[in-house]
Each structure stands twice: as C-alpha cells, then as structure tokens.
Amino acid sequence: MSEMIKQVGSSIEALRKEFETITHNLANVNTAGYKRRTNSFSRILQQHLGEKESGGEIQLEGSFDFNQGALTQTHRSLDMAIYGKGFFVIETPDGPVYTRNGSFQLNQNGQLVDGLGRLVAGEAGPIGLPADTEVSQITISKDGAVSFDGAEAGRLRIVDFGEDEKELVPCGHSSFRARNDAEPEPAQNAVIKQGYQEASNVQMIEELVDMIMVSRLYEANMKMITGTTEATRSLMSVAMG
C-alpha cells in the first residue's frame, strides 16, 4: 500500500508541474515569439488509468513546441518575423541566445538591439547604422539584409538547429540557449518579414481544456490518497483492538 501511495504522490507532483506549465503558457499568450511548453503527463496518466493492468511509475515528459506562430502586421520598421524554421541570434556576455521575438530597436550607438538592449547578431558581427538614422527609412530584405538609404549595413544571422531543437533550453524573454554542444547551422529556408511580429503559438482553448483535465486528474489522485489513508487507519484500529 505504501508503494501505491508513493506512486500516487509522484503523479500528484507531476500534475502540479503540468498545471504550472499550462498557466505559464496562458500568461504568455500575447508574448511575441513565445513557444509553448508541452507536457504529456496528464494524457499518459489518463491512458494509464484506462488500462486494466497498470504498474510502474509514469515519467514526466516535457518539451517545447517550436511550430510557427501566426504573423501579425505591425507596420513598424524594426519589427521582424521569421517565416519558416530559424532563430535570430542575440549576443550576451554569457554567449549567444536564440529567439523568434524580432521586436528590435536602435541603441544610442546606432546598433540593432533587442528589447533588453542586447546586440542582435549579424553574419559579420553587430549591425550598426548611422547615429542619425531615421528608423522609417530602414529596409530589411527577405534574406535578412539590413539597408539604409540604399546601402547595406549588415545581414541578420538566422540559424536553425534542425533535429537538435530539443537541446534548446529557455533562458527568459522568449530566448533559448543551446546545451550539449548543439551547434546551429545557417537557416536555409527562412524568410524575414519586415513590419511583422510572430505571435505566440499558444492556443488558449487547447490550454484551457488541458487545465480542466489536469485538475480532474489531480482531484482523483487526491481522493485516492485520502481513501487509502482512511483504509490504513481502519486497519490500524482493528489491529490495535
């Protein structure tokens, strides 16, 4: 019986973590470039409970859904969206990070930066423009060339991890770091859309349905623990006379 309580307790903890995942997704439904976290534990558990013979511990499985989000036109010159597979590269003191959030701006030195002031990587280094650049006159081509007044200032570095996307880990602000020495390659089929933003790929209705399922499974497991505890107390009472 103690083993069963241990397994149910493990399920409850996993369901709690999945609930947190869902609420995190819902909180970022309007965050540009956000990629939803996925967690299949509740679905596996539901299937597990439907089997006549089930045993062993169910493992928590989590990952990220890197599918394309909808592209929304903003008409802002320094808003950029990637259509297809790929990531913008952002330079940080701790090494490069990768993002689909292309809401950029110019710093006081005329360099292209993200919302946190971090440099956006170009193929030949940071992309710099004259200090008096009118943002409205900046053009970005489909292949990422950044130009002003007809002169190319640099080309965005757009990379793809292919099957190694699973090696990306979140590091805040819709950004990811690569682990396990995963090395990106230049993105082959990415198209840059100037004046657009990629919306979060969170589907609110889907998340709410999952939240209901997780809540019901959590409640069912709590009732199981309560029933097992009461049964144990009854046995102890009988044993002690």
Of 116-130, 134-148, 158-172, 214-228, where does mean pLDDT reach its minimum?
214-228
Of 125-129, 145-149, 218-222, where does mean pLDDT reach its minimum?
218-222
Encode pLDDT of 170-203 as tens digits. Answer: 998 999 999 878 899 999 999 999 999 999 999 9
229 vs 241: CA distance, rounded Å: 18
**Domain ranges, ordered by start, for the chain:** 2-66+202-239, 71-198
Residue listed under structure tokens 């990379």: 159
Encode pLDDT of 39-68 as tens digits. Answer: 765 455 555 545 444 444 444 456 899 999
182 vs 162: CA distance, rounded Å: 10
Question: How deeply is 207 buried, as exposed, middle or buried, from its count of CB atoms within 10 A (0-12, 13-18, 19+)?
Answer: middle
Mean pLDDT value across residues 124-149:
92
pLDDT value for 54? 43
Encode pLDDT of 53-111 as tens digits. Answer: 444 444 445 689 999 999 999 999 999 999 999 999 999 999 999 999 999 999 999 99
| pLDDT over 80 (residue 231) | no
pLDDT value for 214? 84
Sorting pLDDT into bands at 50, 70 and 90, what band is 15? confident
185 with 178: CB under 8 angstroms? Answer: no
Mean pLDDT value across residues 135-156:
93
Sorting pLDDT into bands at 50, 70 and 90, what band is 219? confident
Encode pLDDT of 20-42 as tens digits. Answer: 999 999 999 999 999 999 876 54
| pLDDT over 90 (residue 143) | yes
Question: How deeply is 43 buried, as exposed, middle or buried, from its count of CB atoms within 10 A (0-12, 13-18, 19+)?
Answer: middle
Question: How deeply is 197 buried, as exposed, middle or buried, from its count of CB atoms within 10 A (0-12, 13-18, 19+)?
Answer: buried
